[in-house]
Amino acid sequence: MAVSFVGVTKRFADGTIALDGLDLEFELGEFVVLLGPSGSGKTTACRLLAGLETPTEGRIEVDGKDITTLPPRFRGIGMVFQNYALYSHKSVYENIAYPLRIRKTAAAELDRRVKEVAELLQIGSYLHRRPGQLSGGQAQRVAVARALVWEPTICLMDEPLSNLDALLRLHMRTELNRLHQRLNKTFVFVTHDQEEAMTLASRIAVLKDGKLVQFDDPRTIYRRPANRFVAEFMGRPAMNTMDGMVRDGTFRAGQVSCKVQCPEGPVTLGIRPEQIGFGQSGDGDHFTMTLDVKETVEPDALLIFANDKGTVTVRTQRDCDELRPGQPVNLHFPLDALHYFDATTGERLR
C-alpha cells in the first residue's frame, strides 16, 4: 500500500527541468510534507500526482498500479490549492458539494456528507454564505472540506496556510494534525516553511533542484541531516557550518578550535546554535571569540560571534545581561553535538 514516484523527470516546454529523476515512496496514511526552497519542484510533484501534468520520464504508482497517464478524476486524489480556488458565485454548501455533484451522488447522501464534513471542520454555520463573505481561515476550511468530502485516498495540499496570518496559521496547523489523526488519510502537504514541516509531517521529503535530498521523519532530518544543504535549511537560527582543517584530532577554522572524531584533512563542521556551550573554561577544549551582536528572543538570547571564517551563532537560555558586544567569550563545542560534512560534496561523513 504505497505511493511511488519512480525516476520521475518533468521537463517543461521551455526546457526547465522541474523534477530530475525523482524517486520517492511513501505509505498510504502518512502525512508527507514536501519541503524545499522556491523552485525546487514541490508544486510540480503535487501536480503530477494529481494528474494535472504528465511526467516526461518515469512513472507514478499508487498501490502497485501505474497511474502515470490516468486522468485526474480516476485517481482518488483531492487537492487544496494555495488560493483555495473556491467558486465565488456558489454558496459554501455548493462549493463543498461540487465534487459529489460531478460524481452524481444521490441527494440525501450528498447532503449528509456535506454536513458531516462541515461539522468536522467547524464551518456548519456558514454553509449559506458565499466565499467572499468568509475570513481567510474560514475559506481555507471550506477548501479542505471540498477536498475531503468525497473521501479521496490522498489529499494534496499546496501551501494551504500561506495566505493566513501567523496566529491563524498556527491554529490551522493544529487542526490539520487533528484531522489527519481522525481520518487516517494520506496527506501530501507542500510548504517552504520548515517549522510547519516539522510539526505536521510523519516524514519530510526535502527537495532541491528537482531532486530528493533526504526523506526521513522530522527528528532524523533535524538530528542527522544527510548533507550540508539540509543541515542549513532546517532549524532557526540555522546550523553553524564552517570549513576548516582537522589535524591530530583537532578541527580549526579561524579562532574556532575543538576536538573532533572524523578523518584528518579538510572538513565542514556543523553545530546547532543551541548546543554550543559558553562561559566556563578549564577542560582545555574551549576557544575565545569576540561577541559581535546580542539579540533577545525571549526566553532565549542569540549571541553572534565574528570569526575571520564567518560567524558563529549561539542560542542560550542562560543569563546574558552582563555580556556586551566587543567582549571576549569562551565557547565550547561538545563532541556529541558535532556534524561532519565532506568539504567538497557537502555529504554527511558519519
* Chain positions contacting ligand ATP, by CB under 6 A: 12, 14, 16, 18, 36, 38-44, 192
Distance between start and end Cα atoms, the chain: 32
Q: How many residues does the chain have?
A: 350
Rounded CA gap, 2 and 17, in Å? 26
Considering the complex, what minimum distance in angstroms separates the CB of residue 24 from ligand ATP? Answer: 14
Residue 219 near residue 211 (C-beta atoms within 8 A): no
Bridge partners (DSSP) listed for residue 214:
206
Residue 3 near residue 154 (C-beta atoms within 8 A): yes
Residue placing its CB nearer to ligand ATP in the complex, 8 or 134: 8
Considering the complex, what minimum distance in angstroms separates the CB of residue 229 from ligand ATP? Answer: 14
Burial of 25 (0-12, 13-18, 19+ CB in 10 A): exposed
Residue placing its CB nearer to ligand ATP in the complex, 35 or 144: 35
Considering the complex, what minimum distance in angstroms separates the CB of residue 32 from ligand ATP? Answer: 15
Q: At what angle do helices 92-102 and 107-120 cross, to 10 degrees?
A: 130
Q: Which helix (H) or strand (E) holds 48?
A: helix 42-50
Considering the complex, what minimum distance in angstroms separates the CB of residue 345 from ligand ATP? Answer: 23
Residue placing its CB nearer to ligand ATP in the complex, 12 or 87: 12
Residue placing its CB nearer to ligand ATP in the complex, 13 or 106: 13
Considering the complex, what minimum distance in angstroms separates the CB of residue 53 from ligand ATP? Answer: 8
Residue placing its CB nearer to ligand ATP in the complex, 14 or 319: 14
